[in-house]
């Protein structure tokens, strides 16, 4: 088995398996499940001390549900790419164990010229990796399709959305990794983040893209979210629900350099 090893255990989340499991369970224990069998989730990807509780609001909705696969869309923080890149490896490993890739779905996606086999955007990249411990706790038998979403044109996003929509079934959930505004004062962060959340909840991919291009909204997962909204255009009766919004100020107590986080479900 060709393994993609965790790079951020011990920094973004605990390296010790027992400590990590207890931390994730603690976050989840504070929340009530309110959504039945979501088709997709937007969840944050910062260090757990900052965004773990917000992420738990999303992952709580997967408890007592049955999924075989999670397709995870993440932005690339380390390198610029303009592709939809899937690792050449066939599993991730972290302190909680090994998470296999769904090679059948990956092979089908790679038949489209829009998706490529390329691990480079995944190396030293936290946006997808930090989702795995939550998934391992709430869906311990799940396999994944990790996709690094690069800077794509609107046409490419919509074409990719048509392809991806064929794989969003009752057995497969879409996870979108995203943080909101970065390093503003708390009041400014809340104002920008509300506009971003409203644009997402509109379920209108063109509105979302236009707002981003006009710089009225801010998020580091723009391309993964745009791809998700383009995917939803090809599915029936998708409803978005805001589960939680918070900022880093709640745990860092720094109200001058704030990062925003949200969990949103799509059913």
Q: What is the tens place of the pLDDT at every residue in 187-233?
A: 999 999 999 999 999 999 999 999 999 999 999 999 999 999 999 99
Quote the tokens at residue 232.
């939803």
Q: So what's the pLDDT on residue 258?
A: 97
Structure pTM? 0.97
Residue 38 has pLDDT above 90, yes or no: yes
- Write down the H helix ranges in 92-221: 103-110, 126-129, 132-138, 154-165, 186-201, 205-213
C-beta of residue 70 within 8 angstroms of C-beta of residue 135:
yes
Q: What is the pLDDT of residues 56-73, one digit of tens each?
A: 999 999 999 999 999 999
Residue 238 has pLDDT above 90, yes or no: yes
Q: How many CA atoms, within 13 angstroms, populate the side-chain half-sphere of residue 95?
A: 22
Q: So what's the pLDDT on residue 248?
A: 98
The CATH number for 235's domain is 3.40.830.10
User: Across residues 246-257, what is the average pLDDT?
Assistant: 97
Residue 57 CA, chain-centre distance (Å), reads: 13
Q: Which helix (H) or strand (E) holds 98?
A: strand 97-100
Neighbouring-strand partners of residue 146 = 72
What is the extent of the structural domain holding 118? 3-266
Residue 171 pLDDT grade (very low, low, confident, very high; cuts 50, 70, 90): very high
CA distances to 6, 184, 246, 247 from 261, rounded to whole Å, are 23, 13, 5, 6
Q: So what's the pLDDT on residue 236?
A: 86
Tell which phi-psi region holds residue 64, choosing left (phi > 0), alpha (psi between -120 and 50) or beta.
Answer: left
C-beta of residue 92 within 8 angstroms of C-beta of residue 125:
no
User: Across residues 156-182, what is the average pLDDT?
Assistant: 97
Which residues touch 173 (CB under 8 Å, ≥6 apart)? 38, 39, 40, 41, 62, 67, 69, 70, 71
Q: So what's the pLDDT on residue 78?
A: 85
Q: So what's the pLDDT on residue 81?
A: 87
Angle, alpha carbons 181-212-240 (nearest 5°): 75
Residue 186 has pLDDT above 90, yes or no: yes
Q: Count how many domains the chain has.
A: 1
Q: Which helix (H) or strand (E) holds 222?
A: helix 222-232
Tell which phi-psi region holds residue 94, choosing left (phi > 0), alpha (psi between -120 and 50) or beta.
Answer: beta
The C-alpha torsion from 222 through 166 and 265 to 211, rounded to 10°, is 30
How far is residue 261's CA from residue 219's CA, in Å, rounded to a whole number?
9
At residue 187, what are phi and psi to the nearest 5 degrees?
-65, -40
Residue 1 has pLDDT above 80, yes or no: no
**Percent of the chain topping pLDDT 90:** 97
Q: What is the pLDDT of residues 80-139, one digit of tens each?
A: 889 999 999 999 999 999 999 999 999 999 999 999 999 999 999 999 999 999 999 999
Count each helix (H run) and each strand (E run) in the chain, helices first: 10, 12
């Amino acid at each position: 088995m060709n393994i993609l090893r965790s790079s951020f255990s011990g920094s973004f989340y605990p390296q010790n398996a027992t400590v990590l499991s207890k931390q994730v369970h603690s976050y989840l224990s504070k929340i009530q499940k309110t959504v039945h069998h979501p088709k997709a989730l937007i969840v944050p990807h910062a260090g757990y001390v900052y965004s773990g509780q917000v992420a738990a609001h999303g992952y709580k909705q997967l408890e007592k549900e049955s999924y075989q696969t999670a397709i995870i869309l993440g932005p690339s923080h380390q390198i610029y790419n303009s592709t939809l890149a899937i690792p050449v490896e066939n599993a991730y490993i972290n302190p909680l164990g090994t998470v296999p890739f769904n090679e059948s779905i990956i092979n089908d996606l790679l038949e489209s010229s829009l998706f490529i086999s390329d691990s480079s955007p995944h190396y030293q990249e936290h946006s997808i990796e930090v989702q795995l411990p939550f998934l391992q706790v709430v869906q311990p038998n799940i396999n994944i399709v990790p996709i690094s979403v690069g800077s794509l044109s609107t046409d490419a996003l919509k074409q990719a959305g048509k392809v991806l929509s064929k794989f969003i079934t009752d057995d497969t959930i879409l996870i979108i990794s995203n943080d909101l505004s970065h390093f503003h004062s708390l009041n400014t962060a809340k104002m920008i983040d509300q506009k971003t959340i409203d644009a997402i909840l509109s379920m209108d991919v063109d509105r979302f893209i236009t707002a981003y291009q006009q710089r009225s909204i801010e998020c580091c997962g723009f391309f993964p979210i745009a791809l998700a909204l383009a995917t939803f255009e090809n599915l029936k009766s998708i409803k978005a629900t805001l589960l939680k919004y918070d900022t880093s100020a709640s745990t860092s107590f720094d109200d001058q350099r704030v990062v925003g986080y949200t969990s949103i479900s799509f059913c």
